[in-house]
Amino acid sequence: MAALAFVVPIIPGKEEVDKQYMREATGSRRQEYGEWRKSQGVKREAVWHQQTPQGTVSIVYIEADDPQAVLQSMGTSNEPIAQWFRQCMMEIHGMDLTQPPPGPPSELVVDERY
């Protein structure tokens, strides 16, 4: 299993909207969202909010069989839950997941287990 972590800026003032989205994804949409994530090979997903001098960011951690394929499928899946997810990401982060992300993917520098 592989893991991927990345940081995504939150549009100022959208922090509570993001938390509401997370509550919906793990509440009323839990079954649909969970089935979609499992179909992508996701085993674990965790999100933190971090305050920075530049604003709030989401720190996202995904464990999956193929994390890069998960990222790609988030932008290409036609399932209604994927469309809802993309709409949320556009509103909260200003990200169009149907487009390739700018820049190179994250570079793993160290991964130690003690």
For position 106, what pLDDT does the model report? 77
Q: Look up residue 105 and give its amino acid.
A: P
Tell me if 33 sits within 8 A of 81, measured CB to CB. yes
User: At 76, is the pLDDT very low, low, confident or very high (cuts 50, 70, 90)?
Assistant: very high
Predicted pLDDT of residue 104: 84
Q: How far apart are the first and last CA of the chain?
A: 18
For the purposes of burial, counting CB atoms within 10 Å of the CB of 22, is it exposed (0-12), middle (13-18) or buried (19 or more)? middle
Work out the average pLDDT over 73-102.
Answer: 94
Give counts: helices (H), strands (E), the chain: 4, 3
Distance CA 78, CA 91 (A): 19
Q: Which pLDDT score is estimated for 101?
A: 79
pLDDT tens per residue, range 42-52: 999 999 999 99
Q: Where are the domains of the chain?
A: 2-93
Average pLDDT, integer, range 16-29: 96
The 10s digit of each residue's pLDDT in 23-73 is: 999 999 999 999 999 999 999 999 999 999 999 999 999 999 998 899 889
pLDDT digits (tens, 9 = 90+) for 89-104: 999 999 999 998 778 8
Quick one: average pLDDT of 98-111?
84
Q: Cβ distance 2 to 105 under 8 Å?
A: no
pLDDT number for residue 100 = 84
In terms of C-beta density within 10 A (0-12 exposed, 13-18 middle, 19 or more buried), how is residue 104 classed? exposed
- CATH architecture assigned to 2-93: 2-Layer Sandwich (3.30)
> Of 58, 74, 60, which is closest to residue 9 (Cα–Cα)?
58
